[in-house]
Structure 1
């Protein structure tokens, strides 16, 4: 790592720094600097670590917010029951566009993450630690360097995952570490029952990078000091990634849990605009008034009608069409699916098409979107359909006036600026989405044969006159072959590929 590492997300601290301590002095904290700032790491046995996690109310910081103590106890029980050693996995993948908190930790404070993982590994007497990172992320260089800087008691390996939205799903990460394709498994299996090594493998404790870093802080300062900040129900600090329109880099904010979101936005030099997306693309939109007063905690966001998720915050400025922005993301979510079950293969593409009709001003389109969103909930092999449905429904609620404007006037008069990103943040400003294409129809040539809908029904539907209706979004990776067949076999040569968004 070099001084160029300064080109990582800016860090702002509101209140006492914990995860971000020392970052005002160091671009990246090597092991010696890390020990100077944080001090040595104490050791805990399994029961002591469970007790610590319970006392501070630690939950997963990747979005699901599962209680860490329960997860840890499940692995302890599995190791005793099966008489097998445990494994520890750090989920440091961040395929969520707009999120950069974990990448900031990997790039600037990697030893905090390793501390937490090794703390758990020592308590469980684990066999190994694996750290999953996105291809092209700062973790690819920073984490191996951090491993080399210290003499860990456990073997640690860094495993690169494809930088895709579904790659961060726990089952995808376990499959990737096991040498399989990094996609959600068709059957849900708890990592405590079958993680590293497959279904009959080692009981595995898997959690998010920030979760391990929070545990490392709590282990050093103790539960009482940890709980001195934030509300009683959710003590400690939170990391938020705030995306500002027009800015090249997001801002990572460490703030006491419960801090009003309006204060966070003020600290970042921005406002709520016409509404704020909180939690990422499995999160929810809040209207401007609700967003300003919403506390930055899971309970606070829930009470405001939203969800905290992975702590992603994206205000929508006044000069962009909010429904058009949401439509872009619904298309992207459909393309990012694994395509392994019905809700992803058919449900999400249909949802994207229906949302496009809302943007176009269809009189009953919003009702159809709500119907399709309800139909995919609880039906998928992973949580991707459920999260996508929640995103869609919140857009219709938060921007209800715009839905009316599009219905009455076929639009709100604002262009779509592309404020909501579709590429995971990278320190390289030249990074672009690679290989994303969409399908285009040459209407001067199309004769309405309908063969394309027979070859690729997930990509094409036919209107009442027999002509194809195709999504403007990118072609999902799992439908690339079907799309090529449709293009190559079109009798009128009316189909072609084009870069997505053109």
Structure 2
């Protein structure tokens, strides 16, 4: 995924100098990008407002508002501040931030240094999960002689690691999961200090805005959303790429650039985003407002068309199982609700009592909304329910005929670091169902009362439950065996 090509619609800004495929070092960076003039907090807030800069990590929160909150908290508490770059990018379908971290780290550090100077921050913390990204940023820190003022923190590669509360917990040396009690990082973040936290692209955009000034920055894009956006275009695209484009460019143009059509549907915003029908997607622009009006979201800047050769419901079921396993598992919607969603989707995709399974999916997905400790259940619900709307005809085929006749090709990435898979000795299995109870959403029971075991490896987060299922199986029929890599099978 991180080996994707970089493409540009119009002159590159964030991706300037990346056409050749290498990393932009400090000396080259300074030739390509103007040195942003350091300003105070009031000036930085005014600059962010003039450039209409919003976060690029998913929520699209106004950057000036974040700055104000940190400044006010620091003044009220008489504390130093910390600037955090969220470079974790736990979305399997996203690579834009990793591309910047690996190949253009200085444009990110320009923005982070600008913010740190304006706030009088104690330090800059760059949080990453990717080894190559960590090495690139550490080298950039040395190139700029920022040792002692900036550091890199490596965190586990998980979907939920990038949630703000989880990220701060991880930087503070705790388990990086969303805290049960919600709080604002602008008030109490890293080491309990007021913390400015935004994702890698946001700081890069801040650097470009400061270097060009609001007027030149807004010469591309649309008035409400000036500048460019970074998008990761994958899915069934023949030429997957990280694309820098002016905000407001037609989504159809982006798909064409990457060798794809909208087909039956396009996922926008990632696995907490939404599905758009092919017709809707071709009429939509790459902007927050246009995508919102169409029923989607810019989210994490992910565009995933899905081709006609794969089963859409099978793809969605794979991802739902992955998302259920990637939860923190600390509240009812994640521990029980998401496995129920994944299990019902697996039954629907497999044609097992599909009509009842379809209703179970809808009911379970609606039940988790606004009940979780974080936004993970809400995002999964949106991903699933919009899929059922867009692929309504496919769902009808599964209900009427037990399937759509298409294979599941794995077009949507559902990455896992799992190394073990489950096997059943059918001569011993008596269909007690304990394994399905312990591994809800992963193991299900068929119409004859026997377990249906997935061919995919068990996600690492579910290994303890899988080992418990093996130990408790009354017939001693279940076992965990090492995963055989595809290259070894070939």
* SS of structure 1 residue aligned to 2:222: coil
Q: For 2:171 and 2:211, how far apart are their aligned partners in 1? A: 30
Q: For 1:114 and 1:489, how far apart are their aligned partners in 2? A: 52
TM-align CA RMSD? 2.3
Q: Which residue of the partner structure matches residue 38 of structure 1?
A: 33
Q: Which residue of the partner structure matches residue 383 of structure 2?
A: 391
Superposed CA deviations along residues 80-134 of structure 1, whole A, max 9, x for unmatched, are: 0100000000001112112111111112211010011110000000000100111
Q: For 2:235 and 2:5, how far apart are their aligned partners in 1? A: 12
Paired residues of 2:240 and 2:258 also in contact (CA < 8 A): no
Paired residues of 2:47 and 2:214 also in contact (CA < 8 A): yes
Q: Which residue of the partner structure matches residue 405 of structure 2?
A: 413
Q: Does 1:168 align with 2:158?
A: no
Cα 1:25/1:474, change in 2 over 3 Å: closer
Tell me by how many angstroms 1:470 deviates: 6.3
* SS of structure 2 residue aligned to 1:363: helix
Cα 1:208/1:202, change in 2 over 3 Å: same
Q: For 1:60 and 1:164, how far apart are their aligned partners in 2? A: 21
Q: Does 1:149 align with 2:143?
A: yes
Give the counterpart of 2:340 among 347, 350, 364: 350
Paired residues of 1:100 and 1:250 also in contact (CA < 8 A): no
Compare 449-458 and 300-309 and name the one that shifted more: 449-458
Superposed CA deviations along residues 126-167 of structure 1, whole A, max 9, x for unmatched, are: 00010011133x312110010010133971000111111111
Q: For 2:266 and 2:434, how far apart are their aligned partners in 1? A: 42
Cα 1:452/1:366, change in 2 over 3 Å: closer
Q: For 1:497 and 1:296, how far apart are their aligned partners in 2? A: 45
Q: For 1:453 and 1:24, how far apart are their aligned partners in 2? A: 50
Paired residues of 2:417 and 2:459 also in contact (CA < 8 A): no
* SS of structure 1 residue aligned to 2:225: coil
| Structure 2: segments with no counterpart, 5+ residues | 486-490
Give the counterpart of 1:67 among 62, 66, 70: 62
Cα 1:41/1:146, change in 2 over 3 Å: same
Compare 78-87 and 311-320 and name the one that shifted more: 311-320
Q: Does 1:301 align with 2:291?
A: yes
Tell me by how many angstroms 1:379 deviates: 1.0
What is the total number of aligned residue pairs between the two structures? 482
Tell me by how many angstroms 1:462 deviates: 6.7
Paired residues of 2:235 and 2:412 also in contact (CA < 8 A): no
Q: Does 1:372 align with 2:372?
A: no
Superposed CA deviations along residues 436-473 of structure 1, whole A, max 9, x for unmatched, are: 54444444322234544676678667789765566776
Give the counterpart of 1:27 among 22, 26, 29: 22
Compare 255-264 and 456-465 and name the one that shifted more: 456-465
Give the counterpart of 2:249 among 251, 256, 259: 259
Paired residues of 1:93 and 1:168 also in contact (CA < 8 A): yes
Give the counterpart of 1:496 among 479, 486, 490: 479
Q: Which residue of the partner structure matches residue 332 of structure 1?
A: 322
Paired residues of 2:80 and 2:121 also in contact (CA < 8 A): yes
Paired residues of 1:89 and 1:204 also in contact (CA < 8 A): yes
Superposed CA deviations along residues 305-353 of structure 1, whole A, max 9, x for unmatched, are: 2111111111111111111111100011011111111111111110001
Q: For 1:155 and 1:408, how far apart are their aligned partners in 2? A: 63
Q: Which residue of the partner structure matches residue 4 of structure 1?
A: none
Q: For 1:465 and 1:412, how far apart are their aligned partners in 2? A: 23
Q: Which residue of the partner structure matches residue 238 of structure 1?
A: 229
Q: Does 1:284 align with 2:278?
A: no
Tell me by how many angstroms 1:287 deviates: 1.4
Q: Which residue of the partner structure matches residue 48 of structure 1?
A: 43
Q: Which residue of the partner structure matches residue 401 of structure 1?
A: 393
Q: Does 1:16 align with 2:16?
A: no
Give the counterpart of 1:177 among 171, 182, 185: 171
Tell me by how many angstroms 1:9 deviates: 2.2
* SS of structure 1 residue aligned to 2:128: strand
Q: Which residue of the partner structure matches residue 310 of structure 1?
A: 300
Paired residues of 2:82 and 2:124 also in contact (CA < 8 A): yes
Paired residues of 2:250 and 2:286 also in contact (CA < 8 A): yes
* SS of structure 2 residue aligned to 1:240: strand
Q: For 2:139 and 2:389, how far apart are their aligned partners in 1? A: 46
Cα 1:72/1:398, change in 2 over 3 Å: same
Give the counterpart of 1:187 among 181, 194, 198: 181
Q: Which residue of the partner structure matches residue 207 of structure 1?
A: 198
Cα 1:86/1:461, change in 2 over 3 Å: same
Q: Which residue of the partner structure matches residue 96 of structure 1?
A: 91
Paired residues of 1:298 and 1:307 also in contact (CA < 8 A): yes
Q: Which residue of the partner structure matches residue 106 of structure 1?
A: 101
* SS of structure 2 residue aligned to 1:151: coil
Superposed CA deviations along residues 257-287 of structure 1, whole A, max 9, x for unmatched, are: 0101100111222222322111111111111
| Structure 1: segments with no counterpart, 5+ residues | 1-6, 424-432
Q: For 2:170 and 2:282, how far apart are their aligned partners in 1? A: 40
> TM (normalized to structure 2)?
0.92
Q: For 2:478 and 2:98, how far apart are their aligned partners in 1? A: 40
Q: For 2:198 and 2:169, how far apart are their aligned partners in 1? A: 15
Cα 1:83/1:153, change in 2 over 3 Å: farther
Cα 1:294/1:451, change in 2 over 3 Å: closer
Tell me by how many angstroms 1:501 deviates: 11
Q: Does 1:447 align with 2:430?
A: yes
Superposed CA deviations along residues 40-75 of structure 1, whole A, max 9, x for unmatched, are: 121111011111111221111011111111111110
